[in-house]
Amino acid sequence: MVTDYIEHRIQESITLHELAAIAGLSIRHFARSFQASKGKTPARYIHDRRLGRAREMLAMPGFSMTDVAYACGFSHAQHFSNSFQRSTGMTPTEFRQANGGRCDAV
């Protein structure tokens, strides 16, 4: 239920308070339970899902880097680019080129 909420609102700002309320738990108990079941904190899970969605979008033509950044919940294209590169070792443009998508500037 919580992961569905995250998937459907990945482009929005998602707070720990919201997720805990959905789960019907205190923030602290929710965070511990989530980490125990997923192996990562809620914040890391959301970040990883955002980057996963970005990889999917970058592999398809038709989305600019800015479109991808905002659709994946990043407030700035540069922040997206930096996070993506730290995670994958490639810039979004390099990833797109390696995966057959169209190359657009950030």
Q: What is the DSSP string of 25-64?
A: S-HHHHHHHHHHHHSS-HHHHHHHHHHHHHHHHHTSTT--
Q: 68: domain CATH number?
A: 1.10.10.60
- Chain length of the chain: 106
For residue 103, being part of any structural domain is answered with no
Give pLDDT tens digits along the chain (106 positions).
999 999 999 999 999 999 999 999 999 999 999 999 999 999 999 999 999 999 999 998 888 999 999 999 999 999 999 999 999 999 999 999 898 754 444 4
Host domain of residue 33? 2-98
Q: Distance (Å, rounded) from C-alpha 65 to C-alpha 42?
A: 25
